[in-house]
Amino acid sequence: MVDTRLSGRVALVTGANHGIGAATAVALAREGVRVLVTYLRQSPDVYLVASEDGEAAASPGSAYYAREIAQTSESVEAAIAAFGGICAAREADLADSQSIPLLFDAAESEWAGVDILVNNAALAIPDTFLPDSILGDDARFADEYALRTLSAEGHDAHFAVNSRAVALMMAEFARRCIERDGAWGRIINISTDGSYCHPSNVSYGASKHAAESVTRSAAVELGPYGITVNAISPGAVQTGWMTPELERDIAAGYPLRRIGRPEDIADAAVFLASEQAGWITGQILNVGGGNRM
């Protein structure tokens, strides 16, 4: 068994009420890390999806996903408590820049300064350059989610969460680490393998591409202070948004012939946080079953 030497460290994991964020929080806690999870209960209206109970929400797809994004962090806190891990939680809208220092304050008031930052929180509302006259009223992304023409409001909303908040979280982390004379730190940003080109998810992909750029810049600037900065670029991960049919279709095109699980990304995040990854920085790690090479 690999000793990551993370026991006693403090991590801040954003977007951790479900999916990749929740799995990463649990994985870090298993390594003895004290984890502050953040989340934002999103209304299903954000995705123009009706929140449903019963059969419609029992299987992955839009109704199931609507339920996932609307939950608190209660389930991940319970999962961590079940094996004796240490966890605290705060709800925060990262599009509000004033919320960012408060999260670091919360970690410091609970335990100590943050050693590991995982920027996972994201907004992903399908949009396209195609005009409404072409789309019509029933255009869908993945046959499930309303597809809209790109707008200033929508584009800005994606960048506020997926790019600006990531940069501000990194800046706050760096300031506090350097001011306490820290000589060790890990920043791990969760991107997407669609960042290079993401038709029908234009604003999401572009904002993630911007986050990859600031990842590299931060790696250069923060390296002298013992802080590594990397990003994980996942392929399609089943966090509840894909129907079983879509999952099978996508998996058929992947060399490993399966869709990712949140735990696949969590394992990579633990590695990048570990002492074993101490000489890795400025990298975008593709974790996607061979979808991108």
Q: Is 204 a catalytic residue?
A: yes
CA distance 229 to 223: 8
Catalytic residue among 65, 204, 225, 254: 204
Q: DSSP states of the chain as a string? A: ------TT-EEEESS-SSHHHHHHHHHHHHTT-EEEEEE----GGGGT-----GGGGTSSSHHHHHHHHT--SHHHHHHHHHTT--EEEEE--TTSTTHHHHHHHHHHHHTS---EEEE-------EESS-HHHH-S--EETTTEE-EE--HHHHHHHHIIIIIHHHHHHHHHHHHHHHTT---EEEEEE--TTSS--TT-HHHHHHHHHHHHHHHHHHHHHGGGTEEEEEEEE--B-SS-S-HHHHHHHHTTSTT-S-B-HHHHHHHHHHHHSGGGTT--S-EEEESTTS--
Q: Are strands 140-141 and 145-146 parallel, antiparallel or unpaired?
A: antiparallel
β-partners of residue 230 are 188
Nearest to 241 by CA among 58, 61, 42: 61
Q: Which residues are catalytic?
A: 204
